[in-house]
Amino acid sequence: MGLDKIRNREDKPPVIRSSLTYHDIERNAYQGFIQSRIMLMLTRNNFYEKPYPQPLELSRDQHSGGYFWREYIYWYDERTPPWRYKCYTDRPRDLWFDLNTVHITVTQGFGNDRLFLEFETYTPNFSHYEVNNDENGWVPAEDRWTWLLVPGKNSLRVRSVNTAGVDGKPSKLVVNHVVMPLNEWEIK
């Protein structure tokens, strides 16, 4: 189908590969995200501080580099399965990260009196985390934290701090802990 036939179609273009947006066929003739099959991102952006290695250009032909350079992060989901590359992800925050915000992963321990927390952040020049447990003041913390719960309302705020001492946006976690006797846990 020639370019003139594509531009003169009366029906809307088909929606394929992760795009639900109608693209004007008069102006772009099916170009752009609606035809994309590969979405990738560079793994770094500090080319002024560390100029090498440089990424291969995407415009090169596929036998001399381009898409097959292994240092890109490739996106996959249920419609785009993983490729043969070493770095791929299905987590949106790996490609579109929240700067200076702490993401908290919570795991419950054997008892019901503690939670195991793991912190993750995208903070430029990251130095350390700080934790404020029940408004008792900010204390430095590692990337893992054991949170001992007391009966009632428990609140925890976590923030990142960079090497210049600038605090990030606090992430807050609130748990209402109810203590139950062991005999009420029995299955009847």
CATH classification at residue 173: 2.60.40.10
Q: Is residue 106 part of a domain?
A: yes
CA distance 152 to 166: 33
Q: Is residue 16 part of a domain?
A: no
Please count the other Cβ atoms lying within 10 Å of the Cβ belonging to residue 51: 8
pLDDT at 132 over 90: yes
User: Is the pLDDT higher at 13 or at 173?
Assistant: 173
133-164 per-residue burial string, b: 16 or more CB within 10 A, e: under 16: beeeebeebeeebebebeeeebebbbbbbbee
Q: pLDDT category, 33, cuts 50, 70, 90?
A: very low
Q: Is residue 165 part of a domain?
A: yes
Q: Is residue 76 part of a domain?
A: no
Q: Is residue 133 part of a domain?
A: yes
Q: How many domains does the chain have?
A: 1
Q: Is residue 73 part of a domain?
A: no
Q: What is the pLDDT of residues 44-94, one digit of tens each?
A: 677 777 777 666 655 454 544 455 566 677 777 777 766 666 677 877 777
Q: Which domain holds residue 138?
A: 102-178
